[in-house]
Amino acid sequence: MLVWRQTRIRAVLALAILCGSLLVCAVPAFASVAQGYSSTDTDLVIGMAASLSSSSTSDKQIVERSSTSNKSKFVGIVTTKDANLVTLTNKEATVVVATTGDTTAFVSDVNGVVKKGDYLAISPLKGILMKAGTNQPNSIGVALEDFQSQGAQSQQIITDSGPRTVAVNSVRIEISQASIALSSNQTKKTFLSNLGQNITGRSINNWQVLTALVIFFLILVIEGSLVYGAIHSSITALGRNPLSHNAVYRQLFQVLLAVLGIFAFGVAVIYVVLQI
């Protein structure tokens, strides 16, 4: 019974560690950090992309709707204080801008319908994002869900071929301040993105792959610890009482079931992470 008691304790601790690691790893993927700014742009609303204006100084940072002319000064997406894990602001701030992490932004289909995993760039519509293309040298984030036509609003833009109507809707995105280079044919993806796409057959963001890899590594460590502990305890028990081999074998079988259960739970957690 000593072997089984020790194994049950290890199994409970293993599940607690696995669940805790999932929560810790999920924080960077879904939490966002925001900062307070001043703004005189009355059309800048929640969900719009914001960039530093020409009147902005180091003492007083002023933002306005992002456009093709100020996209190099992009700082983030306008949001609310309560929607972020951390918000840095002062009394003079009039708008809160999510500068990194998960948030909701206005996205258009001006450069094609946005799908989950697509990189996003500043569009010709002020404050609105679009699918990044080969003519956008850098992207500012990744779409975490597909663009929905239902409920989208129509806006008209002027193109080289004349007026054109595009759809605009809210899409959950992950802001990335790092510049993501685009090739002449398609967006260059990181090793993690390519690994995730090879495993799942679709585009997923880096944090999902990293979280899944961390969980998988923890599963291997936990499984190895349980098996080693069970074998070590069994050898000790047989050394003390050679006639207890039937009970030890039965308990080892129970340990095997516990190990398989933890492995199945871990795989299920990884599946959920990759499907979010």
Tens digit of each residue's pLDDT (9 = 90 or more) over 24-71:
444 444 557 888 899 999 999 999 999 999 888 878 889 999 998 898
In this prediction, residue 187 carries a pLDDT of 40
Range with top average pLDDT, 41-50, 127-136, 262-271: 41-50
More confident residue, 174 or 187: 174
- Give the model confidence (pLDDT) of 134-177 as tens digits: 655 568 888 999 999 888 998 888 777 778 889 999 999 988 75
**Extended beta strands in the chain, E state:** 32-37, 49-52, 63-65, 74-79, 86-88, 95-108, 119-122, 129-131, 141-143, 153-159, 162-175
More confident residue, 202 or 158: 158
Residues 6+ apart with CB under 8 A from 11: 226, 258, 261, 262
Residues 6+ apart with CB under 8 A from 202: 116, 117
More confident residue, 261 or 197: 261
Q: What mean pLDDT is reported for the chain?
A: 77
Spatial contact of 35 and 99, defined as CB atoms under 8 Å apart: yes
The single residue listed with the structure tokens 């059309």 is 43
Spatial contact of 200 and 262, defined as CB atoms under 8 Å apart: no
